[in-house]
Each structure stands twice: as C-alpha cells, then as structure tokens.
Amino acid sequence: MASLIMIFGATGDLAKRKLFPSLYRLFERGKLSERFAVIGVGRRTLSNDEFQKSVKESVSAALGEKQDIEQFVNHFYYQSHDVADSSSYAALRKLADEIDEHYQLDGNRIFYLAMAPEFFGPIALHLKSDGLTDVKGYKRLVIEKPFGHDLESAKELNKQIRTAFSEEEIYRIDHYLGKEMVRNIEVIRFANAIFEPLWNNRYISNIQVTSSESLGVEERGRYYESSGALRDMLQNHMLQMVALLAMEPPISLTTDEIRSEKVRVFRSLRTIKGEEVKNYFVRGQYDAGTINGNQVPKYRDEPMVDQESNTETFVAGKVMIDNFRWAGVPFYIRTGKRMETKSTKIVIQFKDIPMNLYYQPEKMLNPNLLVIHIQPEEGITLHLNAKHAGGHLDAQTVKLSFSNTGTNAMNTPEGYEKLLYDCMRGDATNFTHWDEVAYSWAFVDKISNVWANEKADFPNYASGTMGPEAADKLLEKDGFFWWPVADLDVDTCK
C-alpha cells in the first residue's frame, strides 16, 4: 500500500502524541510497506534530522525504545512552510514529487490536516491550485475536528474542500469512531440473536450515554471559549454513538450502507428549539472543587477564559428519535469536564418485567442493563437478576462481564492507528460523511442559538461531581435516574 502522507501541523501536539506513534505501530505490525514516506509540515524551521529526532522522541515517549526506529524515521522528511503563504506550496510540491519518485509511491497521497481549523479551507484550495493534488494515484484529505462552528461555517468549509476533493476522498476524523468498543456497538447489536429482537421501544425503556472527563480545560481555554461542550463533544462524538446505537441493520457492511443508515437516524432526531430547549437540555460550568484530593480552580479562573464566561463545560440532553423503532424511548446523553471520573459508558436499560414475583417491599428488582464500556475500561456487562446463593428465592443482581482489557488489550490498536490504516486502505466507514455533519449541526445550532442569547447562571456544578442538579432532574421527571458510573464498572463474572 504505497503512499505519501503529508502531515500539516507535524510539530503540533496531535502529531506528536497520536500520529507518529500510530504510524510506528502500523510499521511495526508490517502494515506499512517499504513504499511509504511522510512529509511533516510546520511553520518553524527544522532540518530533516531534527524532525526525525522529534519523531523518535514521540514514539519512545508513547511506546518505549524501539530497535527498528531508525529504519522507521528514515522515511520522514520535513518542510518548513507557512500555509498562509501561497508562494511556499511550489517547494512542497517539488519535494513531494521527488519523494514520490524515490519511493515509487504511484502518486498516492494522503493530506492530513492536523492544524487549527481556520487553515483547513485555504490549505485544500492551495493543494489544488498549486498542483499537489494532480497525481495519478489516489488523493485523500484527512481533516481533524472541529468541522465548522455551526451549520453555516461547516457548509462554507465543505464548499472549499470540495473544490479540491470529492466527498469519497474526504476523511473527516471523529476519533471516537476509532475506539474499539464504539466499533463493537455494531457487532454486539447485529451479530447476536439475543439483542436485536429486543432492540426497540417495546423492550428498552431508555438509553444513557455518558462521557465524563475529570480534567479541566487545561491549556485549551482560548479554543474552548468559542466551542463549549455542546460543539466540542455533543455535535460529533455523542451523536455518533447515538446513531450507532439507534440505526437500522444495514443491508451490508459497506461504507455507503452503514452511512446511509446512520444518516436516517440523524434525520429522525426530534428538533428541539426555542422554549423547548430548557425541557430537553441542561448546560453547566464547573466551579472550584476537589478531584483526587486536589483543589482545582473554577472554569472562569482557567487561563485565557473570560471571568464572565457563558461557555458550558457540561451538557446533558434528552434526545428523541422519532421513528417506528424508537418512538417514546429517550436517549439521555451527558458529557463534561472536571467531573467525578474519566469514563465513557453506554447503558441500555430494559423495561421492567410485566409482573414481579420476587418483589420484596424493601428491595425492588433491578431492571436488566446492558452496559458498553468505551473507555478507559473496554468491555460489556449484562446485568441480570438471579437467586441469592443459599438464600430462599431472593433475587440479586449478577453481572456477566466481558473485559477487553484482560484478553485483547495487548493487541488493541489505538484509535488513530485504526483510522490511519482505514484511510490508507480507502475505507471511509468510520469517518463522518458530510450529511451526518450537516444534520448534527442543524440539530445543535437550534440549542446553541437559544443558549447564546440567554446568560446562564454559572458556575453551577462543583468540580469532582457528575454535573449540575438539573441534569438529574432531567431524568427524574421521566421516572429515571443516571446509573452511577462507579457501580457499572466491569467486574469479573459473578
């Protein structure tokens, strides 16, 4: 699979922490042929040797010392290039053509934009106008989030990149779609006779998706101030997980079939707007508090954050999918920073059995739950009721668990590794199609428009908690509650 990978932003954080180690893992596993090369592009001046040294350092920081590292980094070249400066694309093209010739890369090119989003459109336009996309092989554009700031800006960006690349050539990264257990949702649903017949509004009472972080905004205050949890997490990662949970079985596992089923979910999202927003969505911003015994500041005291900031660091919502399968089933989603724990989990709560023979006044039977652990644990747990050993007929919850960590972890590729490999193979299934982006922005814009015009009563949750009280009330009024994340951890089989 010969290819030239051009990484724009090769001196940045993403390239160092994720892309170089992921490329090394592909190399180590024999998934990169000898016919590959990387051109790193950044603004600062570096020699090839200096660049190769920084690649070595990122690989050893992530994966430890590697014997064949020299062999790997020999394929790396650096070009200092200001992407805003039109004149420097000619030199980049010359270097790319020489390397193509040297490694016999058949003109296959991947352009990976690991840079601030305002550069995405201009780079794509230059790649075309300066001839870098005039190749006899394939050309693919990999683009990081955020894809726009709202529907209008996303449309504008899409228009720009579509002048140089067709939709099939655009790989919009949603790194959640690289996660092992997110990819597993489809298999759990469609490869098991016991789940699919129950996967509808007759048997499922609600679905909860939580993605919590204990970290605060760290150094990203400037970016986060113009984004917030709704745009940073919900528009992309959270809604992508909802789509995978809710989609109809595709007629085959091709990219087009899977994407079209996901798009149908996005089309069925109930539009929440105006006055209704407060009944369906809750926003929060963290106050000071304690995490792992350490005092942490409030969001408004973080670097590059406005003292009066109206930006949400937490969002919880009730998403309704108005189609035949899901009518009446709420999908509750929540995500935030500085929460009690770092965890991404999905809980599928089944309806209560029609008549409870084992009811004891002080002890209700728990509903059956299927828990999908996305991170940091990876696995699935099924909560059943069974007889208490030795007792009479008292029922207790037992958990049947599968933990990926125990069996496959050593070989589990990191998300970016899988996504890079998919891109090289031309498999766009786990990247977001423009239609998904457009529908999800249309959904989110209605909420952000309301929030932008109303000053929030922030801060409204202490760091180290699971968000504001209003997020609990959102479920309480429907007769549900958030399943406590700590009680759901993968246990060994009981």
Q: Which stretch binds ligand NAP (CB under 6 A): 78-86, 338-346, 433-441, 471-479?
A: 78-86
Has 56 been labeled as part of a binding site?
Answer: no
| 237 included as an active-site residue | yes
- Is residue 14 part of the contact set for ligand NAP (CB under 6 A)? yes
The residue within the footprint of ligand NAP, chosen from 3, 20, 36, 42 (CB under 6 A), is 42
Two tokens, residue 444:
């989110």
Query: Which is closer to ligand NAP, CB of 203 or CB of 223?
Result: 223
Residues 87-116 binding ligand NAP (CB under 6 A) are: 114-116
- How far is residue 163 from each of residues 327, 366, 436, 469, measured CA to CA in Å? 40, 55, 20, 47
Distance spanning both ends of the chain, measured CA to CA: 46
User: What is the number of other CB atoms lying within 10 angstroms of the CB of residue 54?
Assistant: 21
* Contact range with ligand NAP by CB under 6 A, out of 7-15, 22-30, 63-71, 176-184: 7-15
Residue 298 is labelled as binding a ligand: no
Q: Return the number of other C-beta atoms located less than 10 Å from residue 376's C-beta.
A: 10
Q: Is 16 annotated as a binding residue?
A: yes
Shorter beta-carbon distance to ligand NAP: residue 139 or 175? 175
Stretch that binds ligand NAP, among 79-87, 134-142, 247-255, 425-433 (CB under 6 A): 79-87
CB of 64 vs ligand NAP, minimal distance in Å: 21
Residues in the chain: 494
Please name the residues in contact with 179: beta carbons below 8 A apart, sequence gap of 6 or more: 374, 375, 415
Alpha carbon distance 231, 236 (integer Å): 8
Of positions 83, 243, 419, 437, contacts ligand NAP by CB under 6 A? 83
Residue 175 assigned as binding residue = yes
155 is in an annotated binding site: no
Min dist. Cβ of residue 239 to ligand NAP (A): 17
82 lies in the site for ligand NAP, by CB under 6 A: yes
Of 316, 261, 338, 293, the closest CA to residue 478 belongs to 316
Residues 44-73, mask of contacts with ligand NAP (x by CB under 6 A) = x-----------------------------
The residues in 239-268 that bind ligand NAP, with binding defined as CB under 6 A, are: none
Residues whose CB falls within 8 Å of the CB of residue 280, separated by 6 or more in sequence, listed in order: 272, 317, 318, 319, 474
Among 144, 180, 377, 378, interactor with ligand NAP by CB under 6 A: 144
Structure token digits, residue 211: 């993605």
Q: Shortest gap between Cβ of 222 and ligand NAP (angstroms)?
A: 10
Task: Pinpoint the alpha helices (H) of 307-464.
Answer: 404-407, 415-425, 434-452
Tokens 């709420």 belong to 330
The DSSP letter of residue 144 is P
The token duo for 157 is 């960006």
Q: How far is the CB of 69 from ligand NAP (least distance, A)?
A: 21
Residue 324: exposure state from Cβ atoms within 10 A (0-12, 13-18, ≥19): exposed
Q: Which stretch binds ligand NAP (CB under 6 A): 10-18, 162-170, 395-403, 426-434?
A: 10-18
* Lateral strand order in the sheet of 36-42: 76-80, 36-42, 3-8, 109-113, 139-143, 170-172
Beta bridge partners of 412: none
**Cβ-closest residue to ligand NAP?**
12
User: 459 preceded by cis ω (within 30°)?
Assistant: yes
Give the nearest distance from C-beta 113 to ligand NAP in angstroms. Answer: 7
291 near ligand NAP, judged by CB under 6 A: no
Q: How far is the CB of 119 from ligand NAP (least distance, A)?
A: 7
What is the closest distance, in whole angstroms, from the C-beta atom of residue 17 to ligand NAP in the complex?
6
Please check if 15 is assigned to a binding site: yes
Specify the stretch interacting with ligand NAP by CB under 6 A; choose among 80-88, 302-310, 395-403, 426-434.
Answer: 80-88
Bridge partners (DSSP) of residue 387 are 395
Check if the beta carbon of residue 216 is closer than 8 Å to that of residue 229: no
Cα 476 from Cα 356, distance rounded (Å):
22
- 10 among annotated binding-site residues: yes
Q: Which of 237, 373, 383, 433 is catalytic?
A: 237
Q: Is 12 in the site for ligand NAP (CB under 6 A)?
A: yes
Strands 369-375 and 343-350: antiparallel
Q: Does 145 bind ligand NAP (CB under 6 A)?
A: yes
Find the farthest-apart pair of alpha carbons in the chain and give their distance in angstroms, rounded: 82
Count of CB atoms situated within 10 Å of the CB of 232: 23
What residue ranges bind ligand NAP (CB under 6 A)? Answer: 9-14, 17, 42-44, 81-84, 114-117, 144-145
Q: So which residues are the catalytic ones?
A: 237
Binding site members for NADP(+): 9-16, 43, 82-83, 145
Binding site members for substrate: 175, 179, 213, 232, 337, 342
